[in-house]
Amino acid sequence: MIDYKFIDNGMSTVQGIKSTGIHAGLKKIKKDFAIIYSEVKAAAAGVFTQNAVKAAPVLITKENIEASNGFSRAIVVNSGNANACTGELGLENARKMARIAAAELHIESREVLVSSTGVIGVQLPMDIVSQGIKQACAAVLNSNSSSDAAEAIMTTDTFPKEAAVEVEIDGKIVRLGGMAKGSGMIHPNMATMLSFIATDAAINPNVLQEALSEVVDETYNMISVDGDTSTNDMVLILANGLAGNSPIIQKNGDYHVFKKALSALCFKLSELIVRDGEGATKFITVKVLNAPSIEDARKAARSVTTSALVKTAIFGEDANWGRVIMAVGNSGANFNPDIVDMYIESNAGKEQMMKNGMGLAFSEENARKILGQRDISLIVNMNMGSSEATAWTCDFSYDYVKINADYRS
């Protein structure tokens, strides 16, 4: 049993990590620049968008992690402008963001990771950006507010998303804190959003990368809001070692304790993203049980979470189980449709809708009560093996269309 626990105050609880967010002018009123800063050199790792169109900050951050041999000191983030599809000038502006932050924090530019989010195809106004980074760096050296940083990275989000966990490793208390943004353009293959994590654990950069990649596959990559994968997605983690545990240099017991805590943190942030899905009224958990392999289970679960027909049916509280099995059939997963069972479940109860590949005469009244709840589970039992996977999504409401129809205006 690995005893981690959630604690308050997000990233601000992590030793040697400071963060803050400020308003500089990329947005009319709301905060638009965030800085995350480690007082000592930290191991760094990242997972990035699988979209073929990668924004300048994604490319420069990957470049800087490699150039620094997996060690970094700071992350600078702007919202309101994605710096995507901006050509060579966009790349130079992303590098300039790192250079400005490095000069203000008295570190090397390759130790600064860069992230942006917002409208695609617009060049950064570098006069505002330069001043914003300077203001944010000055603020982070004198204050520590991860809640301000979490607010500054938001775009269409309706609330800031942050969490922290604490766990004992090698007799030392280790803390992990994180923040995320995401509300729309959320889809597996680097769940479409930004997330930044910091920990005071001592861990080798290569091992840290393995832990992050594994955790992303089971958390962020298992959520979907609208099926669109962004140009700017990234998850970054800094680990500065100030907890004082013996450095984790291999996949031993300490590694698994660390990974379990990291997974809990990332799941919580993933859940917050889905709950804040644009226009969402339902939080939908899709469970695929007894699949031939984990790959088959994940394919099937993801396919259900990305089905517009499933999501609109759930919004309408319509127990249209045919849409669910349709999505499983479209997934490419290996399964026998003639032995599948299916259920819906919520706090209002549980109803079986399909047995051995055929529909049952279920209670429409009970099904509507189940689907009338905020949190709903769709359960698909393939009856073919022992593997399982869980994915998460939200419904499609009228407000989703309104939000995205007016996004640029």
192 annotated active-site: yes
Give, for 31, the enclosing helix (H) or strand (E): none
Helices (H), 276-363: 294-305, 308-315, 321-329
Query: What DSSP string describes 142-191?
Result: T---HHHHHHHT-SS-SS-EEEEEEEEETTEEEEEEEEEE-SSS--TTTT
Asked if 161 and 276 touch (Cβ cutoff 8 Å), the reply is: yes
Quote the tokens at residue 125: 């106004």
Sign, CA dihedral 193-199-205-211, equals negative
Question: For tokens 């490419």, what's the residue?
Answer: 332
| Alpha carbons 333 and 371: distance in angstroms, whole number | 26
Report the chain's C-alpha Rg in angstroms.
Answer: 22
Catalytic residue from among 192, 199, 285, 390: 192
| E strands in 266-306 | 283-291
Kindly state the DSSP code that residue 242 receives in the 8-state scheme.
T
What count of other Cβ atoms lies within 10 Å of the Cβ of residue 409?
A: 4
Question: Catalytic residues, which ones?
Answer: 192
